[in-house]
C-alpha cells in the first residue's frame, strides 16, 4: 500500500510540476527541402536566400605530394542552391541534371616556381552531382539544424548557421573526401517563429488531468451533498486524501529521488496514517 501511495504522490508531482516541460529531444522537423520547424514553432526557412539562378560557391584546395615530389594540388568548388534544383545545361560528368548541390574538382600539377610565381598544369577536371532537393534531409546536430545530402558514396552536410551578414557558403570540415561538411551562414538560418507553438504532450496530459479533477470534484460534491447530506467542508470528496496531499507529494519526490525504492524499514513514516487517503479513491 505504501508503494501505491508513493506512486500516487509521484504521479501528482510529475503531472503538475514536471509535465509541462518537454521530455522529448528537440528535433527540427523537416517541412520541404529548405525549411524545418521545432516543436515550439520556431524554425529556419532558407527560401529568402534563394538566388534567381546562381549557386552559392565555396572553394578549397588541398596540396598533396606524390612519390616523384611533384606537387599536386586539388582544387574543389562546392556549389549550393537551397530549396530548388538548377540545371547547368551542360553535360560534364554527372552534372548533366538539375541539382541543389554539386562539386567541381580540378587537379593541378605544379610545373615550376614557388609561391605566387609558381606555374601549374591543369591535369584533370571533374564535375560531380551531390544531391537535388529530394535528397535534402534535415538533421539536428549540436550546431543546430543541418541539411544532409546523401548520394552514392558521398554524403554532403550543410550546417545552417545564423549570421547577420549576407548569405555565404563556407567550408567547415573537409577531412573526409566523401563526407564534406559545409556551413551556410545566413540570417535565414536564424530561428524565427514560423508556426504556432504546438501543444506539448506534457501540457495535454495536464489539461486532461485537471479536466478529470474538476469533473471528479463536481460529481463528488454533488454526490456527498445531495445523496449523503454532507455539509460544510465535508462535501469535498476524499477529504482525507486532499489534506494528506502535501505529505504524498513530499513522499513522491523522495521516492523518485531514491529511484522508486521504499525507504528502509524504520526510517521515517511509511505512508499516511489516514486510511481514507487512498482506499476511498
Ligand X SMILES: *[C@@H]1O[C@H](CO)[C@@H](O)[C@H](O)[C@H]1NC(C)=O
Interface positions with ligand X (CB under 6 A): 26, 38, 40, 42, 53, 66, 70, 72, 86-89, 109, 111, 121, 123, 137, 150, 191
CA 85/CA 157 separation, integer angstroms: 17
Nearest approach in angstroms of CB 24 to ligand X is 11
The nearer residue to ligand X, 89 or 165, going by C-beta atoms, is 89
Q: Which residue has the cell 615530389?
A: 69
The nearer residue to ligand X, 137 or 203, going by C-beta atoms, is 137
Burial grade of 24 (CB within 10 A; 0-12, 13-18, 19 or more)? exposed
Nearest approach in angstroms of CB 129 to ligand X is 14
Nearest approach in angstroms of CB 170 to ligand X is 22
Cell of 166: 549576407
**Mapping DSSP to helix (H, G, I), strand (E, B) and coil, where does residue 143 land?**
coil
Nearest to 178 by CA among 148, 211, 206, 143: 148
DSSP type of residue 237: T
The nearer residue to ligand X, 37 or 239, going by C-beta atoms, is 37
Nearest approach in angstroms of CB 41 to ligand X is 8
CA 79/CA 129 separation, integer angstroms: 10
Nearest approach in angstroms of CB 171 to ligand X is 22
The nearer residue to ligand X, 191 or 206, going by C-beta atoms, is 191
The nearer residue to ligand X, 23 or 228, going by C-beta atoms, is 23
Instruction: Report whether 45 contacts 190 (CB < 8 A).
Output: no
Amino acid at each position: 500500500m505504501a508503494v501505491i501511495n508513493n506512486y500516487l504522490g509521484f504521479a501528482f508531482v510529475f503531472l503538475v510540476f514536471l509535465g509541462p516541460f518537454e521530455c522529448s529531444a528537440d528535433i527540427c522537423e523537416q517541412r520541404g527541402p529548405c525549411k524545418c520547424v521545432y516543436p515550439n514553432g520556431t524554425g529556419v526557412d532558407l527560401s529568402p536566400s534563394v538566388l534567381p539562378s546562381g549557386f552559392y560557391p565555396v572553394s578549397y584546395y588541398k596540396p598533396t605530394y606524390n612519390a616523384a615530389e611533384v606537387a599536386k594540388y586539388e582544387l574543389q568548388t562546392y556549389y549550393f542552391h537551397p530549396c530548388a534544383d538548377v540545371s547547368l545545361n551542360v553535360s560534364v560528368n554527372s552534372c548533366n541534371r538539375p541539382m541543389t548541390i554539386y562539386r567541381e574538382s580540378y587537379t593541378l600539377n605544379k610545373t615550376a616556381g614557388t609561391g605566387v610565381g609558381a606555374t601549374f598544369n591543369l591535369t584533370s577536371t571533374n564535375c560531380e552531382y551531390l544531391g537535388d532537393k529530394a535528397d535534402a534531409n534535415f538533421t539536428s546536430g549540436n550546431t543546430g539544424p543541418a541539411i544532409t545530402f546523401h548520394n552514392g558514396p558521398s554524403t554532403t552536410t550543410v550546417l545552417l548557421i545564423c549570421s547577420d551578414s549576407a548569405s555565404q557558403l563556407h567550408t567547415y570540415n573537409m577531412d573526409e573526401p566523401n563526407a564534406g561538411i559545409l556551413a551556410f551562414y545566413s540570417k535565414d538560418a536564424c530561428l524565427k517563429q514560423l508556426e504556432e507553438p504546438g501543444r506539448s504532450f506534457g501540457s495535454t496530459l495536464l489539461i486532461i488531468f485537471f479536466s478529470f479533477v474538476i469533473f471528479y470534484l463536481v460529481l463528488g460534491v454533488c454526490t456527498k451533498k445531495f445523496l449523503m447530506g454532507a455539509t460544510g467542508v465535508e462535501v469535498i470528496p476524499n477529504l482525507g486524501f486532499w489534506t494528506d496531499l502535501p505529505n504524498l507529494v513530499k513522499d513522491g519526490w523522495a521516492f523518485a529521488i531514491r529511484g522508486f525504492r521504499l525507504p528502509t524499514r524504520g526510517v521515517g513514516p511509511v505512508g499516511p496514517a489516514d486510511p481514507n487517503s487512498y482506499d476511498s479513491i
